[in-house]
Amino acid sequence: MTPYAELQTLSNYTFLEGASHADELAITASALGLEAIAICDRNTLSGIVRAHVAAKAAGIRLVVGARLDLTDGASLLCFPTDRAAYGRLSRLLTLGRRRAPKGECHLARADVAEHAEGQILVLIAPDPLEEGFAAQLAEWRTVVGDRLYLAATRRFRGDDGERLRVLAGFGIPLVATNDVLYHTPARRPLADVLTCIRQGTTLAAAGWALSAHGERHLKSPAEMARLFAACPEALANGLEVVRRCRFSLDELAYEYPNEVAAGMDPQERLEILTRQGAARRYPRGVPPKVQAQLAHELALIRQLGFAPYFLTVHAIVAFAESRGILCQGRGSAANSAVCYCLRVTPVDPAQMDLLFERFISAERGEPPDIDVDFEHERREEVIQHIYDTYGRHRAGLTATVIHYRTRSAIRDVGKVMGLSEDTVEALAKANSGWGRRGIKDEHVRELGLDPTEPGLARTLSLAEELTGFPRHLSQHVGGFVISKGRLDELVPIENAGMEDRTVIQWDKDDLDALGLMKVDVLALGMLSCIRKAFDLLRLHHGRDLCLATLPREDASTYDMLCKADAVGVFQVESRAQMSMLPRLRPRRFYDLVVEVAIVRPGPIQGGMVHPYLRRRQGKETVDYPSEELRQVLGKTLGVPLFQEQAMKIAMVAAGFTASEADGLRRAMATFRHTGQVGAYGDKLIGGMVARGYERDFAERVFKQIEGFGEYGFPESHAAAFAHLVYVSAWLKCHYPAAFACALLNSQPMGFYAPAQIVRDAADHGVEIRPVDVNHSDWDCTLEGKALRLGLRQVSGLARRDGERLAAARGAGYASAYGLWRTSGLERAALDRLAAADAFGSMGLGRREAAWAIKALDAPPLPLFEEAPPPPEAKVALPPASVGEEVVGDYAALKLSLKCHPLAVLRDPFRVLGIMTNASLKDRKGGRVAVSGLVLVRQRPGSANGVLFITLEDETGIANIVVWPDMFETFRRPILGGHLLRVDGRVQSEDGVIHVVAEKIEDLSAHLGALARGSHYPSRDFR
């Protein structure tokens, strides 16, 4: 059989063109018996790491390359022959990307010529051949000599033979290719759909834009030999290219910056900083346990050469602290005593049993991964500092790949297939958005559509096929890659969508696959909130606090949490966490560590929650089969809740080596697919049995550990988060006005909208004062013990307008005319303020203010600037009803201080048999009917399809449990309703009350009775 290598293939990382994943292409190429495959995406290397990994797994050689589309000449395939040539290709792509807008690449022949050393170029002849192409070939031959080839591809037309003869006549070696877009002919329809999406047209109107045939798939060597029987040397030349291109991504060597001046040793510098930090952390002396831990960690850091990485993170944190930016590390780095001493993490190794190997392992030899959270409103300062320090040629943000999800796939495919806009939107909304792939036939029928109709069936099938395809590159939330040398010789760098941001073309998984280090500079809204609360306490209460000096183990703070009074509190404000708080009843910091970790899919799936609670409540005896397990599980009452505990159990009870325990950790890593942990079952159970444990006990332990495959928290991560839980809870408990003010000024963030934050503050005795043009600044402020809502709450009001109004206010505005003349605001901004009922200090209601603004005309001529406004006859406007006022508030502010919408509807709802949510606490069981505005819909992955809904009426909230069958029955009102009625049974346990839904009705039409065209926005979570 004639050997063959396919050298012209696009993966789906040539966005909206390639119609197959890299692994599909690699597996198919291997199965067909190809010698090698080159995946050459257009002007990018964004998919090359996935292709590299896929080719290794499939056992086929990958030729690294890219297709370059030029602005002044024919496209070409560029294949680097060695590591240096690869660096030049990467810099070339960086050049083209950096000079172009996001998503584009502008390269000319001269650019390629400057970077052509060591490259093999395969030119792609234009179709039809253009005048001047021969001159281009001659020019390229001068540049690269015998490293120039010409691609020969069958177009499956009557002139193929003649075209091949013409190409051969240029005297450049031909290389046979099939210009592959997909791995199998079955993907041709999807390729046509992608073409239409890319060109913004429909399938019916695409015409000549579509490929005339379905032959652009991988073909066997025998088939290619048949197609090129008249030119067999074209196949041989392709194999010659493969032999000449020796480069593999395995050759990429990454050097981290030294982070010290010339002549200094990074390790010595790290040890000095660590000793200094330890002295500050422990002014009464470093405990012996911590000293031993530091010595162990520093020795391992020295062995693996990771000192520069720690110095980088320390420098970034030090910069943030110098600017007054709150930050703290989390994740596995919180297992490090060195990180604690460097002020990177808040987890004290004297108080916690750390497992440094969870962070860094000699057996693993992989780079560490430190995540540091910064105030979300000031993180950009840190990002720009990193760019300024290292330069954009040495630092770049990691990319993240935006994939098609079900809704976006339905929308794009539906448009291509010519479905009406309302049909497309209805189909998209028919998907719940909670990750289910595709739409069930019965849901399509609910829309009045026939899922068996051929056009619609084809649309849904193609949409499902498109789901999971990469759509475009975006920027990671904060992962930075920093290099000693030129980063753009390792990976192309391009412009991000945000100004002054640049990103590399690889994502986190690509970096992991190649063993590259990154620093995660993340944004956390709660840190912004805490810093603003500290500022308010300093300004209004004379207390100067920081994360480290906040009073610890405060009983009243724990009392508040035990009552599930946690709206706004970091991490424990969800309904699941609030339901857990009265049952777990935290009384010390470590209880918060458990609280953060236990309401997660891992512990829930592993059956750990109920045993832990029963033991904590004294309902179940705590016993340990051995002293070694008591050492591991003593703090969690014999129940493994953390990844570190699972690793320790494997080592002390089943004889795992550190490397094997780390393999178990990897299988438990966040967001891994179910089943990876199972591979360790026989070894763990067998090892425990061999060491004298009962098989039944060993199997129960493994079942619990297996749950971590669904998302188990590391103890160190939970401890870092628990620190912020306590800080935010303390602020809420002791300074509810300042905490609510800081929360509102940090929006958007958290689980609840401003309306719930304001209501909760009022429930804690805080006086809430309305938005007012004479009293409100842009941000919310404190007026004594009262909270004044800021102009930021006014929907659609630009910040610049709000700040201009406040700056020009002086002694106050006496009239709408005076405000207009003094502030210089446009009519549109004044209309928004009137709609928000913000003229109360002038004695003007919403309607009166709107009427006064309508009287404003063009500014007076200079001669009459000082003249008073012309008098206007008073007009008696009809008063608005309470319902109209409330709806107006929600439309303009998303909240109302006048009344809750359900209070207005209470009388008719009482006639309907609907009780208030507050009265649920008096019911121990039985059937009830409740109603409320939908605050939250949440369907956690650990809940086996159970949906949780939070409803709010004027008296409080009701927690609704919707079983999967009920969700399917009432999915339309659940997904579409803003005001719901729920009939069901009351369940009460440990002070936690739920209503298990039996019937759900959409009462949103009643909101229209208050004022037409308004609705209350709910918040959906997964």
Q: Which pLDDT does position 245 carry in this prediction?
A: 96
pLDDT tens digits for range 112-127: 999 999 999 999 999 8
CA 459 from chain center: how many Å? 29
Question: Given pLDDT bands bounded at 50, 70 and 90, which one contains residue 1021?
Answer: very low
Average pLDDT over residues 504-512: 90
Asked if 325 contacts 372 with a C-beta cutoff of 8 angstroms, the reply is: no
The SS3 assignment for 788 reads strand
- C-alpha dihedral sign at 105, 111, 114, 120: positive
Percent of the chain exceeding pLDDT 70 equals 91
* Single-letter amino acid, residue 423: T
**pLDDT band at residue 349 under the 50/70/90 scheme:** confident
pTM of the model: 0.83
CB neighbours of residue 141 within 10 Å: 16
| Nearest Cα to Cα of residue 959 among 934, 940, 922 | 934
pLDDT, tens digit, 9 for 90 and up, residues 226-238: 999 999 999 999 9
Report residue 1014's pLDDT band, with 50, 70 and 90 as the boundaries: very low
Confidence of residue 361 (pLDDT cuts 50, 70, 90): low
The most confident of 14-23, 370-379, 647-656, by mean pLDDT: 14-23
Residue 873: pLDDT over 80 = no
Whether residue 563 is predicted with pLDDT greater than 50 in this model: the reply is yes
pLDDT (0 to 100) of residue 305: 87
Q: Residue 367: what pLDDT?
A: 67
Q: What is the mean pLDDT of residues 815-834?
A: 91
Instruction: Kindly give the pairing relationship between strand 36-39 and strand 61-64.
Output: parallel
Q: Which of 171-180, 337-346, 806-815, 935-944 has the lowest mean pLDDT?
A: 935-944
Residues 6+ apart with CB under 8 A from 766: 736, 737, 740, 785, 786, 787
String of DSSP letters for 31-65: HHT-SEEEE--BT--TTHHHHHHHHHHHT-EEEE-
> Which three-class secondary structure state does DSSP give residue 221?
helix
Give the residue ranges of DSSP H helices in 781-845: 799-807, 816-823, 827-835
Mapped onto helix, strand or coil, the DSSP state of residue 9 is: strand
Cα dihedral sign for 872, 876, 882, 887? Answer: negative
Q: Inform me whether the pLDDT recorded for 799 exceeds 90.
A: yes
3-state secondary structure 708-722: HHHCCCCHHHHHHHH
Indicate the pLDDT class of residue 435, thresholds 50, 70 and 90: very low
As a whole number, mean pLDDT of residues 726-755 equals 93
Instruction: Place 666 in a pLDDT band, splitting at 50, 70 and 90.
Output: low
Q: What percent of the chain has pLDDT over 90?
A: 56
Question: Which range among 734-748, 844-858, 1002-1016 shows the weakest confidence by mean pLDDT?
Answer: 1002-1016
* pLDDT at residue 751 tops 90: no
Beta strand spans in 382-539 (E): 395-403, 470-482, 493-495, 502-507, 519-524
What SS3 class is residue 522? strand
Asked if 519 and 313 count as a contact pair (C-beta separation under 8 A), the reply is: yes
Report helix, strand or coil for 159.
coil
For the chain, the C-alpha Rg in angstroms (whole number) is 33
Q: How many CB atoms within 10 Å of residue 795?
A: 12
Q: DSSP of 936-1004, one letter per residue?
A: EEE--GGGTT-EEEEEEETTEEEEEEE-HHHHHHTHHHHHH-SEEEEEEEEEEETTEEEEEEEEEEE-T
Residue 407 near residue 466, CB atoms below 8 Å:
no
Distances (CA, A) of 413 to 192, 196, 437, 860: 11, 9, 15, 55
Write phi, then psi, for 492 (nearest 5 degrees): -60, 145
Question: Is the pLDDT at 487 greater than 80, yes or no?
Answer: yes
Average pLDDT, the chain: 88
Which range, 264-273, 508-517, 696-705, 766-775, has the best average confidence (pLDDT)? Answer: 766-775
Question: 243-258 pLDDT, tens per residue?
Answer: 999 999 999 877 778 7
Spatial separation of the C-alpha atoms in residues 477 and 993, rounded to whole Å: 37
Residue type, 762: A
What distance in Å separates the CA atoms of residue 957 and residue 564, rounded to the nearest whole number?
A: 13
Which of 35-39, 67-71, 303-307 is the least confident region? 303-307
Task: Choose the weakest-confidence range: 220-234, 473-487, 821-835, 1008-1022.
Answer: 1008-1022
Give DSSP secondary structure letters for 267-322: HHHHHHHHHHHHHHH-TT---HHHHHHHHHHHHHHHHHT-HHHHHHHHHHHHHHHH
Cα gap 564→319, rounded to integer Å: 37
Residue 678 has pLDDT above 70, yes or no: no
Helices 609-616 and 589-598, interaxial angle, to 10°? 150
User: What is the pLDDT, as a whole number, of residue 1020?
Assistant: 47
Q: Which residues fall within 8 angstroms of residue 258, CB to CB, at 6 or more apart?
A: 266, 308, 484
Write the pLDDT tens digit of every residue in 444-458: 888 888 889 999 999
Q: Which residues contact 552 (CB under 8 A, 6 or more apart)?
A: 589, 726
What's the pLDDT at 657? 79
Residue 250 sits at φ, ψ, to 5 deg, of: -60, -20
Q: Which amino acid is residue 345, in one-letter code?
A: T
Confidence of residue 568 (pLDDT cuts 50, 70, 90): very high
Residue holding tokens 């006048």? 898
Tokens of 994: 């739920």
Check pLDDT > 70 for residue 364: no
User: How far is the CA of 400 from the CAs of 327, 506, 665, 749, in angstroms?
Assistant: 23, 8, 24, 21
Q: What is the mean pLDDT of residues 603-611?
A: 68
Residue linked to tokens 């002020």:
343
Taking alpha carbons only, the member of 667, 711, 664 closest to residue 683 is 664
Give the residue-averaged pLDDT of 1008-1018.
54
**Do residues 536 and 742 lie in contact, with contact meaning Cβ atoms separated by under 8 Å?**
yes
Is the pLDDT confidence value at 672 over 50?
no
Sign of the alpha-carbon dihedral angle for 797, 801, 807, 811 = negative
Residue 328 has pLDDT above 70, yes or no: yes
Q: What mean pLDDT do residues 532-544 have? A: 95
Residue 133 DSSP SS3: helix
- Read off the tokens for 330: 């989390």
Tell me what pLDDT residue 861 has.
Answer: 55
pLDDT digits 0-9 by tens, 181-214: 999 999 999 999 999 999 999 999 999 999 989 9
